[in-house]
Structures are given as C-alpha cells and as structure tokens.
Structure 1
C-alpha cells in the first residue's frame, strides 16, 4: 500500500463496481498556488462561462479568416 502522505486516496463503493481514485499534489500544504487560484477564478462561475464564450468566438473568427484567405488563394483565377 502507498503511505498516507502520498496524496493518493482509493475508495470502493459498497456493493457496486465503481471505484474512485483521488490524486492530490504531494507535499501540498492546503494552500493553492497563485496559478491554481487564477485558473479556478477564470474557469468557473459566470466569469469562466464568459471567458469560454469569448475564447470560442475568437477561435471561430481565426478559423474563419484563415479559411477565407486559404480559399481565396486556392480558387484564385490564373
């Protein structure tokens, strides 16, 4: 078995076939790093939803413009 301070927890549901394995950062002190806090704030809640929508729209327009430029040069009359 793994030592308790490894950050890995294994639990089996009673009478079921579902197993759960939880992995935590080794040596974590309970405090989230600044990157984890920023990531959690930008990726969850209303701000997270709006960031994902804006990112999706930006990705759509980048692909659209690249496709337009590519199509222009592929179908250009000689």
Structure 2
C-alpha cells in the first residue's frame, strides 16, 4: 500500500458547501397549511369551531337515538 505522502485524508463527499440546510423551503404543502391554520389566533378559532361542531353533532345523534329508543 502506498501513502499519498502528506498523511491527510480527503473527504470530498462531506464538503459542507453541498449540504442544503434550507428547512423552510423543503417543507411540504401540508406542513405549510398546518402552520397557517393550526397556530396562533387562527388555530384557536379553528379548534373552537371544531369542538363546537363535534358537540352539536353528538347532540343531534343523541337526540335522534333517544327519539327512536323512547318512541314506544
């Protein structure tokens, strides 16, 4: 085995200039939508509206079920 003479190892594959650290540009569209809709004041409004819709739907399901159970 022959040495290259200077005793240093070349790491050309690990050149830091070739590493892309732009995380914001590499996010998917769904993450951008999540960041817009689910954070901040808009996120609070969306969560409250979702909870209200869930409560209303559970109320309607309970009302219809109670109607058919106690119909006799």
Tell me whether the two structures share a fold, i.e. TM-score over 0.5. Answer: yes
| Structure with greater strand share of residues | 1
Runs of 4 or more consecutive aligned structure 1 residues displaced over 3 Å after TM superposition: none
* Structure 1: segments with no counterpart, 5+ residues: 1-27
Structure with the greater relative contact order (CA < 8 A, sep ≥ 6): 1 or 2? 1
Aligned residue pairs, count: 50
TM-score scaled by structure 2?
Answer: 0.64
CA RMSD across the alignment: 1.5
| Structure with greater helix share of residues | 2
Aligned: 1:33 with 2:28? yes
TM-score scaled by structure 1?
Answer: 0.59
